[in-house]
Structure 1
Amino acid sequence: MLTEKDKNAYFAQAVRQMSFAQRLGMEVKEIQQDKVVLEMPVIAEHHANLLGVVHGGVLMSLADTAMGFACANAGSLPTTIDMNINFIKSISIKGSRFIRVIANVLHHGQSTLVAEAEVYSDNGELAAKARGTFFIVGKTESLVL
């Protein structure tokens, strides 16, 4: 049986090794039982839309990844079956250094989980709020050796 510290280290490493997370530059800043905080740098050449702000798909990807890892760290391997996001305030490409997302599990059922995520600019302004429903495809202990 892994300690909580070892399990958290395992999931932090998993985020670093996931190719999609690498592509976006995601990094684990905090991880707890059913909560994950991720950050990623804002890179104009990769993340801008035509308006000069971070593309909504980037914010959605960050939120989905964080919610999925929060579910996994809570003990269940998730796959997203439904997700919505409300974009509240844009994040300008100019002057923004990073984006932070805080995700946690709201409900951990037998076959599904519900999680939420809040996406923030580097100055702490709420940029988006997401909620997702995840189908449980297994237990995370099957991944951890």
Structure 2
Amino acid sequence: MSNPYRQVVDHMMLHDKFSQWLGIELLDIQEGYSKIKMVVREEMINGFGIVHGGIAFSLADSAFAFACNNRNNLSVALDTSINFTKAIQVGDELTAEAKETHNGRSTGLYFITITNQKNEQVAIFKGTCFRTGKSLV
């Protein structure tokens, strides 16, 4: 049996050039949930020689988008925030897991945890989305 939530996210990934550039791999997609991973590359470091904070944010933002849109109801970010809890290194394999905590008619609330290959938490992201009522596919 095919996963209708995965079908929506596969469609999103097909057109999401930034997530493709990040090297995101889809691990699990369920209703209101996503789990994705990527490997941090050398070109992702900033002028201080450390991994740019936008990398963790972008990974979490993609997990957020896949979780809040997978019911095929176009949803856009209203508010997001991130807390960095551990330094990220080049070569780290990061996993982002997005869990829905509220699914309202017009809004949704999601918490995304990012861990490294040692299962150490490196960041926590919170996102609130607005549901437009339009279909993606």
TM-score, normalised on structure 1?
Answer: 0.84
> How far apart in 2 are the matches of 1:10 and 1:77?
10
> How far apart in 1 are the matches of 2:3 and 2:95?
22
Matching residue within 38, 43, 56 for 1:40: 38
Q: Which runs of 5+ in 1 are unaligned?
A: none
Q: In 2, are the aligned partners of 1:16 and 1:27 still within 8 Å (CA)?
A: no
Shift of the alpha carbon at 1:38? 0.8
> How far apart in 1 are the matches of 2:36 and 2:42?
19
Please name the residue that 1:91 is paired with.
Answer: 88
Shift of the alpha carbon at 1:51? 4.1
Taking only aligned residues, the RMSD between alpha carbons, in angstroms, comes to: 1.8
Q: In 1, are the aligned partners of 2:86 and 2:122 still within 8 Å (CA)?
A: yes
Shift of the alpha carbon at 1:9? 3.5
> How far apart in 1 are the matches of 2:5 and 2:95?
22
The answer as to 2:136 corresponding to 1:143 is yes
What are the within-5 Å matches in structure 2 for residues 3-18 of structure 1? 5-18=3-16
The number of residue pairs the alignment matches comes to: 137
Given residue 48 of structure 1, which amino acid in structure 2 is its aligned partner? Answer: I
The answer as to 2:14 corresponding to 1:19 is no
Please name the residue that 2:29 is paired with.
Answer: 31
Among all aligned residue pairs of Structure 1 and Structure 2, give the percentage whose two residues are the same amino acid.
34
Q: Which runs of 5+ in 2 are unaligned?
A: none
The answer as to 2:49 corresponding to 1:56 is no
More deviation in 99-108 or 72-81?
A: 72-81
Shift of the alpha carbon at 1:16? 4.4
Q: In 1, are the aligned partners of 2:98 and 2:111 still within 8 Å (CA)?
A: yes
